[in-house]
Amino acid sequence: MIHKNKTSLLLAALVAAAFSTAGVSEAGKPTVGGPCQKCHTAEAGAVRGNLGKVSPEFSTLQVKAGKIVWIVKYDDKTRVIDGDKTSGAESIKDLPKNKEILVSFSGDESKPLATEVAVKQPYKVPEEQKISNDEVVKLVSMGPKKGEYTLIDARPTGAFLGGHIPTAISLPFDSFEENCSIVLPQDKDRLLVFYCGGPT
């Protein structure tokens, strides 16, 4: 999906991200990992990261939070929230590996027991901020100067180097804060078109 957005909205997101820091528990154990670090901070009794292995045999799941892998027990009382659907612990084994999740737990960090597992939902872009593939093709055929746009490829650098839309500039999401002032145009009214590898 391809998105367009005015610079003011982009700057608001940048400011919000700039004030977020990676979460660390009181014991120094990371509680926020991976892409979650861009938007979330530490919360007591919670760990955010990517789902690793799930072991129904031992009723445990792994959460990758930075360089640390949390092993969290779950039981029959653990709820799984996936969008507007709530289910029991039996559905944990069906969650896709590496999916971004939030695990709320009781107990201390040495023996956490999951009370709730929430699955991150894809970001929903408002219809008025979307641009069709045909519109992008038209803009690209005019070029950035005549079309008055900047096309941003937000995928990782390796994906960009493997192939990208002509006229696109690489600005990976993970390095957005560090490089946005270099890559983004000075003209705040210029059309910005972002694209990535799919829903996140």
Task: Identify the structural domains of the chain with CATH numbers, from first to last.
Answer: 21-119 (2.40.50.140), 131-195 (no CATH)
Query: If you search the block for the tokens 């938007």, which residue do you land on?
Result: 39
Q: What percent of the chain has pLDDT over 90?
A: 44
The pLDDT assigned to 15 comes to 35
| 50 in Cβ contact with 101 (< 8 Å) | yes
The pLDDT assigned to 42 comes to 81
Count of Cβ atoms closer than 10 Å to residue 97 Cβ: 10
| 160 in Cβ contact with 151 (< 8 Å) | no
Count of Cβ atoms closer than 10 Å to residue 27 Cβ: 9
Residue 96 reports pLDDT greater than 50? yes
Q: What DSSP designation does 82 have?
A: E
And the tokens for 84?
């507007």
Q: What angle do CA 48, 98, 109 make, to 5 degrees?
A: 35
The pLDDT assigned to 98 comes to 84
The pLDDT assigned to 174 comes to 76
And the tokens for 106?
């009781």
Asked which of 36-40, 137-141, 144-148, 186-190 is least confident by mean pLDDT, the reply is 36-40
Residue 127, CA distances (Å) to 4, 5, 91, 153, 188 in order:
10, 11, 32, 20, 21
The pLDDT assigned to 28 comes to 61
DSSP line for 155-180: S-HHHHHH---TT-EE--GGGHHHHH
The pLDDT assigned to 192 comes to 93
Q: How far apart are CA 177 and CA 10, in angstroms?
A: 11
Residue 178, CA distances (Å) to 64, 90, 184 in order:
24, 42, 12
* Residue range 86-90: mean pLDDT, rounded: 83
pLDDT band for position 20 (50/70/90)? very low
The more confidently predicted of residues 68 and 42 is 68
The pLDDT assigned to 35 comes to 67
Residue 37, CA distances (Å) to 41, 60, 166, 175 in order:
7, 24, 31, 12
| 76 in Cβ contact with 88 (< 8 Å) | yes
